Amino acid sequence: MLKGLKRFWRRITDGMALGQLWNQFHTDARISYRLYSQEIDSRRMPGTGRVRHLFRIIKLFLWAIVDKLSPARRVILLIALILFFPYMHLTGFSTNGIFWGCVLLFLLLVLEISDRVVMKRDLQIAKEIQAWLLPPGPPQVPGLEIAFATRPANTVAGDYYDVFPRPASPSPGGTYLIAIADVAGKSIPAAMLMATYQASLKTLAGISSSLTDLAGRMNNYACGNSENGRRFTTTFIAEYNPATRDLIYVNAGHDQPILRRQSGAIERLTAGGIPLGIQENTPYESGSTTLQSGDWLVIYTDGVTEAENIRQEEYGEVRFMVLLYANQNATPPVLLNTILADIERFVGNTPQHDDITLMLLKAV
């Protein structure tokens, strides 16, 4: 009997400890509250008392929940609530009313779970497809050590990163393209646009052209899929020549990458233009630099520095830079894990609100 209960409990909890279960519930509750409360105007109207304001917020919150149901399921919920209504208890209908109310609520739960299972299955397929679009690991680039990783806020992400040989490179020894991008928004819409970004980058990279021409063509392509600029993409694209250690780059509205010299000096890579997908035929300019042994190039999306803890404090660039200075002699994989672990400690149980992508390159 006891062994059976233990097996049952392990199956229910998936082997998680009580502390882990509570943390998961706490995170799920915060995510659900954020989903429903984002549609509620919680401002207190002039001349409205606290009690009346509280009841107004509760009413809006309940309607926000109900509005997420389909009309048929709203009717099921309404009938279930009527069956639970105290008036029914006074008429002798209490036992049957409570029983059928429970049946209807259970039916509603089953329907919602079935939707969630189907959606979860589709999201898992989308996640697997997206994984095919991202590199499984960093390539071997002469003169560079590379590490990168992404942490999606949802099942699928709107961030993209890659390092790959450029097929149309005019350099005798060949060059490598380094790219990172952040599509405005999250989840499925952002992930779909991320896929179009990947396709356009890989296609246009095969055409012999300058990096500014490549950025311009990608921008024109993005403008046809950006809903009049609402779904824009910030990106940083660079072309690295191992023979000369030269790096040419275009920063299209992306967070400015950090180039930390071996001496400790900091440079920011800013040359470029506006994000992709906002305005067609926008000119882009390029910047250039040369990487020396011991230099670090740190490229990231805003999910890194804007990660929030429970007090809504941002992780911030200062804390980020402290880790970069304190781990100058580390390898990129070690520093990458150090930064991601520090972000996780800082955030705690707070739901992640944006995708986190980080790429570290060290000249050797």
Q: How many CA atoms lie within 13 A of 62 on its CB side?
A: 9
Residue 180 pLDDT grade (very low, low, confident, very high; cuts 50, 70, 90): very high
pTM: 0.73
Pairing of strands 176-183, 233-241: antiparallel
Residue 63 pLDDT grade (very low, low, confident, very high; cuts 50, 70, 90): confident
Please give the full DSSP string across 138-170, using - where no structure is assigned. ----TTEEEEEEEE-SSSS-SEEEEEEE-TT--
Between 162-166, 243-247, 323-327, the lowest mean confidence (pLDDT) is in 323-327
pLDDT tens digits, one per residue of 128-153: 766 777 888 899 999 999 999 998 88
Q: Say what the pLDDT of residue 255 is.
A: 93
d(CA 1, CA 8): 10
Please give the full DSSP string across 199-245, using - where no structure is assigned. HHHHHHTTS---HHHHHHHHHHHHHTTSTTTTT-EEEEEEEEETTTT
Residue 240 burial (C-beta neighbours within 10 Å; 0-12, 13-18, 19+): buried
pLDDT tens digits, one per residue of 89-142: 555 555 566 777 777 777 777 767 666 666 667 666 667 766 777 888 899 999
Indicate if the pLDDT at residue 299 is higher than 80: yes
Q: Say what the pLDDT of residue 229 is.
A: 65
Q: Say what the pLDDT of residue 270 is.
A: 94
Give, in degrees to the nearest 5, the angle at Cα 256 between 243 and 219.
80
Q: Say what the pLDDT of residue 145 is.
A: 95
Domains of the chain: 135-363 (3.60.40.10)
Q: Say what the pLDDT of residue 103 is.
A: 76
Q: Say what the pLDDT of residue 241 is.
A: 93
Largest interatomic CA distance in the chain: 91
